[in-house]
Structure 1
Amino acid sequence: MTDPTAWQKSSFSGADANQNCVHVRLAASGDIELVESDKPETIMATTPANFAAFLKGVKAGEFDHLIEGRRE
């Protein structure tokens, strides 16, 4: 089993550990922390509930227009 407090990245990211990735981990505070590989000094934190809601939205395609260059 993967240590939830260690930085993890999606298997859909490139093979290079620092290339075009968002890394995620469980912080000691209980928050979920995210960091972008291009700006590792900037860490964003959110609650597990907010992160779960975000993931549901991603899976449902709610943000597809952002990566396709469309505005809604």
Structure 2
Amino acid sequence: MTTPVNWRKSSYSGGGEGNNCVEIASSPTHIAIRDSKTPARATLTFPAGDFTAFVKALKSTGFPEG
């Protein structure tokens, strides 16, 4: 995946500047995730199908939101 340019903040970022969240960018084949507080640092990149499995696993663990 080339460097994404279409970063979007999570819909759960809350009010204010929304800097306490993750951002995602997508291409036809991959999804990239980064921390909005440190966007120049490393990103996680997944094939699109694996990202779906990753999100389902996170949801099933019962992590508290927020």
- Identify the TM-score tier after normalising by the shorter chain: 0.5 to 0.7
Equivalent residues, number: 58
Partner of 2:36: 37
What's the CA shift for 1:21?
A: 1.3
**What TM-score, normalized to structure 1?**
0.63
Greater C-alpha radius of gyration: 1
* Structure 1: segments with no counterpart, 5+ residues: 68-72
What is the alpha-carbon distance in structure 2 between the residues aligned to residue 63 and residue 39 of structure 1?
Answer: 26
Identity %: 29
**What TM-score, normalized to structure 2?**
0.67
The runs of 4+ residues in structure 1 deviating greater than 6 Å are none
SS of 2:53's equivalent in the other structure is helix
Higher relative contact order (CA 8 A, sep 6+): 2
What is the alpha-carbon distance in structure 1 between the residues aligned to residue 56 and residue 47 of structure 2?
Answer: 14
What is the alpha-carbon distance in structure 2 between the residues aligned to residue 27 and residue 43 of structure 1?
Answer: 14
* Structure 2: segments with no counterpart, 5+ residues: none
The superposition leaves residues 4-38 of structure 1 with CA deviations (integer Å, 9 ceiling, x where unpaired) of x7212222112314x1110011136x211111012
Q: In structure 2, what residue type is equivalent to 1:43?
A: T
